[in-house]
Amino acid sequence: MLIRNGEPGSDLHIDFVPMVDVLFNLLIFFLLATSMAQTEREMSIALPHAAASGPISAAMREIVINISAEGKIDVGGRTLSADELATTIRTAAAANPDQKVSIRGDRNTPYANVATVLDVCKGAGIQQPYLETIPMR
């Protein structure tokens, strides 16, 4: 005589180890992908406040120029002089006439430093450089 167990499906076993492995791999991938995307925006620049601030929607790669409180000009992690900046922007503008440039000046830097970078951008052919700010609280 065949005796059956009263619980149907009691022999069913789900192994969660592969699912947890996949979850951790996805988590590590997304953590690495997001940490590498914002290298230029992670510099210690204290942006000024503005009521109409917002991110630029860029279909192409924008050039981000950071101006520190001491007046140093950084592009892509490199400190540049005004002449080197002009050459970099002129090359980018020649390759793409609609090149976007975003200027991030520290709120404690003299405006003369920002004006110098704006002058370099205009002289290199950038018609509308974007001055980045953060929203008012």
Tens place of pLDDT for every residue, the chain, 137 residues? 566 665 665 666 778 888 999 999 999 988 877 766 555 565 677 777 777 666 554 445 788 999 999 989 999 888 999 899 999 999 888 888 888 899 999 889 999 999 999 999 898 888 888 888 888 77
**Residue carrying structure tokens 């789900």:** 14
At 53, list the tokens: 């601030």
Phi and psi at residue 106, in whole multiples of 5°?
-60, 145
Query: Going by C-beta distance under 8 Å and a sequence separation of 6 or more, which residues neighbour residue 96?
Result: 60
Q: Choose among 129, 109, 125: nearest CA to 65.
A: 129
Whole-number pLDDT of residue 59: 45
Whole-number pLDDT of residue 31: 83
**Residue carrying structure tokens 């001491």:** 70
- The β-bridge partners of 64 are 102
Q: Amino acid identity, residue 31?
A: L
**CATH number assigned to the domain with residue range 44-135, chosen from the 4 options 3.30.420.270, 3.40.1010.10, 3.90.550.10, 3.30.379.10:** 3.30.420.270
Q: What are the boundaries of each domain within the chain?
A: 44-135
Instruction: Note the pTM of the prediction, 2 decimals.
Output: 0.58
Distance in angstroms (rounded) separating the CA atoms of residues 64 and 132: 10
Angle, alpha carbons 101-106-108 (nearest 5°): 150
**Residue carrying structure tokens 């000009």:** 73
